[in-house]
Amino acid sequence: MEALVKTNFNFDGQKNLYVGKVRDVYNIDDEYLAMVVSDRISAFDVVLPKGIPYKGQVLNQIAAKFLDATSSIVPNWKIATPDPMVTIGHLCEPFKVEMVIRGYLSGHAWREYKNGKRSLCGVALPEGMKENDKFPQPIITPTTKEAVGHDEDISKEEIISLGLVAKQDYEQLEKYTLALFERGTQMAKERGLILVDTKYEFGKKDDKIYLIDEIHTPDSSRYFYLEGYEERQKRGEAQRQLSKEFVREWLMENGFSGQEGQKVPEMTPEIINKISERYIELYENIVGEKFNKNETINLIERIENNVSNWIKSTK
């Protein structure tokens, strides 16, 4: 199996290339973005040294399905998916914050709570909660969107006072975030899942707000299995998760948590195959359909042809 870890295309009308942790984003004529979802995998804000076959296809296809399923709530950037690993959409000016929304006390929120914090991003947290307890209602805990390094927690008041997002726009982002999370929660429940927390990114084009990037994927979201959730909470047991938390856990078990001086453990073929299988399992559970593996031979050539043909069709 071949994993796509790097691209360097030169498409007709290409203005520039932005290489993110996982995505390679091509600006076409300052009008479209061609987002190639690679098989790179990141954890603790570090890109791991080896790619995971089919991961890019999994993420791209989940995001495409959820973008289509939520387009009645908020306009989104997606125009086409000419390749299983590529989405093409509107070029928007991104807002400089990520809208994180949490329905349950898990992950980063739990770590802060366990350390005694009772406020997160300016939102008061109830006393007496346990890990993975449900909040009385979902809370929005935004972060900064950093080009390099860790994103930082930030409050609504700070976002507005620093001029990162205008007050009117930010309040609209909050409304969209709550509505998207409600839709995602409903869709997860239909699949026997709980949407625990997620993040949304938004941008503007021609003074109109668009939902951009991925949505409800296991890289941007945490899911629990609905069956057995209550019983596990009562017994104080860990919840069965559908997210890339298992990758973080494997890294931490092997002495890596993103701290300076730590070394990423060896990614053996067995580990890579196991992670690939878990991503496919995530897809099938979240989407409710069998995952069809696309051929991984000649990935570069296939993607280049599919995107080039789409660009030609717009001329």
Note whether 135 and 207 are same-domain residues. Answer: yes
pLDDT of residue 129: 98
Note whether 203 and 232 are same-domain residues. Answer: yes
Q: How far apart are CA 233 and CA 242, in angstroms?
A: 17
CATH of the domain at 48: 3.30.200.20
Neighbours of 125 (CB within 10 A): 16
Asked if residue 306 lies in contact with residue 83, where contact means CB atoms within 8 angstroms, the answer is: yes
Residue 289 falls inside a structural domain: yes
Residue 7 falls inside a structural domain: no
Note whether 65 and 185 are same-domain residues. Answer: no
Q: How far apart are CA 270 and CA 10, in angstroms?
A: 35
Residue 53 falls inside a structural domain: yes
Total-model pTM: 0.90
The number of domains in the chain is 2
Note whether 208 and 250 are same-domain residues. Answer: no
Query: Among the residues of the chain, which ranges form H helices?
Result: 55-69, 107-114, 156-161, 167-190, 229-235, 245-253, 269-287, 299-314
Domain boundary among 223, 242, 261: 242
Domain boundary among 210, 242, 274: 242
pLDDT of residue 149: 62
Note whether 106 and 218 are same-domain residues. Answer: yes
Per-residue pLDDT 10s for the chain (315 aa) are 789 999 999 999 999 999 998 999 999 999 999 999 999 999 888 899 999 999 999 999 999 999 999 999 999 999 999 999 999 999 999 999 999 999 999 999 999 999 999 999 999 999 999 999 999 999 999 999 876 667 899 999 999 999 999 999 999 999 999 999 999 999 999 999 999 999 999 999 999 999 999 999 988 999 999 999 999 999 999 999 887 888 988 999 999 998 989 999 999 999 999 999 999 999 999 999 999 999 888 999 999 999 999 999 998
pLDDT of residue 194: 97
Residue 2 falls inside a structural domain: no
Residue 201 falls inside a structural domain: yes
Note whether 137 and 231 are same-domain residues. Answer: yes
- What separation in angstroms does the CA of 170 have from each of 72, 250, 293? 20, 37, 40
Burial profile 191-206: b = 16 or more Cβ within 10 angstroms, e = fewer: bebbbbbbbbbbbebe
Q: Could you identify the residue written with the tokens 């309040």? A: 171
Asked if residue 97 lies in contact with residue 159, where contact means CB atoms within 8 angstroms, the answer is: yes
CATH of the domain at 172: 3.30.470.20
- What separation in angstroms does the CA of 177 have from each of 21, 27, 76, 215? 24, 26, 13, 11
Note whether 230 and 259 are same-domain residues. Answer: no
Residue 3 falls inside a structural domain: no
Note whether 155 and 257 are same-domain residues. Answer: no
Sheet containing strand 23-28, strands side by side = 14-19, 23-28, 32-37, 86-90, 78-83
Q: Could you identify the residue written with the tokens 């994927």? A: 217
Note whether 64 and 169 are same-domain residues. Answer: no
Q: Is the dihedral of CA 69, 75, 81, 86 positive or negative?
A: negative
Closest CA to 209 of 201, 221, 220, 199: 201
Residue 51 falls inside a structural domain: yes
Note whether 191 and 296 are same-domain residues. Answer: no
Contact partners, residue 259, CB within 8 Å, separation at least 6: none
pLDDT of residue 218: 85
Q: Could you identify the residue written with the tokens 């726009």? A: 169
Q: How far apart are CA 315 and CA 299, in angstroms?
A: 25
Domain holding 26, by residue range, is 14-93+245-314
Domain boundary among 242, 267, 300: 242
pLDDT of residue 1: 78
Q: What is the CA radius of gyration of the chain?
A: 19
Q: How far apart are CA 244 and CA 279, in angstroms?
A: 8
pLDDT of residue 297: 87
pLDDT of residue 67: 97
pLDDT of residue 315: 83
Note whether 53 and 110 are same-domain residues. Answer: no
Note whether 168 and 272 are same-domain residues. Answer: no
Structure-block tokens of residue 51: 């790619």
pLDDT of residue 102: 98
Asked if residue 22 lies in contact with residue 59, where contact means CB atoms within 8 angstroms, the answer is: yes
Residue 79 falls inside a structural domain: yes
